């Protein structure tokens, strides 16, 4: 994400992104975000300013065998945000 664009975001969104910042060498700008209602609301607010793509991450559970390249939102533990 462009530094100027991040500077222009509301303070609560800036703090939220800093909390889940991805390492510098990765293409995601936020990762390991817990899959809960509040974090999806913050990601939706961010999507109004920046075009984003969410990638869901998780592991297989008792009733859900996760394919190696995909995790359904319902069974995800966390998600990452990439610029579209």
Asked whether the predicted pLDDT for residue 7 surpasses 80, the reply is no
**First CA to last CA distance, the chain:** 10
Asked whether the predicted pLDDT for residue 1 surpasses 70, the reply is no
The pLDDT tens digits for 27-76 are 898 999 999 999 999 999 999 988 999 999 887 777 777 777 778 888 78
Cβ–Cβ < 8 Å for 28, 79:
no
What stretches of the chain show up as alpha helix (H) in DSSP?
3-8, 11-19, 37-47
């Amino acid at each position: 994400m462009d530094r100027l664009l991040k500077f222009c975001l509301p303070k609560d969104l800036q703090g939220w992104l800093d909390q889940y910042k991805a390492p510098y060498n990765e293409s995601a700008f936020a990762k390991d975000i817990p899959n809960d209602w509040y974090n999806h609301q913050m990601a939706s607010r961010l999507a109004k300013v920046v075009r984003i793509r969410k990638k869901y991450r998780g592991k297989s559970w008792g009733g859900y065998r996760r394919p190696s390249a995909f995790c359904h939102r319902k069974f995800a533990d966390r998600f990452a945000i990439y610029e579209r």
